Amino acid sequence: MARQEKSSNLLRLAVGAGILAAVGVGVAIFVPRSRWQAMAAPLRKLPSVPVAAAVTAWAMSLWSDLTAPTPPVFDDLRPFDEF
């Protein structure tokens, strides 16, 4: 069961990455460069804002918590045979 669930999750991840890549390439091809520059103008000032640094630090700590090593989960419900 766990093996099937893992392959299903990897398939979803691959499909999602493919869709994101296709959207990114499509946007890069069909949106003119001048429009990109106009949209990016307000974002150039963003790194100097303290809120942006705080949000980035929060996201990095969240990522660190999510990717931290965890102990193994034992879901074996059979009784122990100890004599």
pLDDT interval class at 77 (50, 70, 90): low
What DSSP string describes 22-70? HHHHHHHHHS-HHHHHHHHTGGGGGGGSHHHHHHHHHHHHHHHHHTS--
Of the CA atoms within 13 Å of residue 22, those in its CB half-sphere come to: 6
Question: Domain locations in the chain?
Answer: 2-64
pLDDT surpasses 70 at 3: no
CA atoms 54, 59, 65, 68: torsion sign: negative
Per-residue model confidence as pLDDT tens digits over 9-36: 888 999 999 999 999 999 889 988 888 8
Per-residue model confidence as pLDDT tens digits over 37-72: 888 888 888 777 888 888 889 999 999 988 888 887
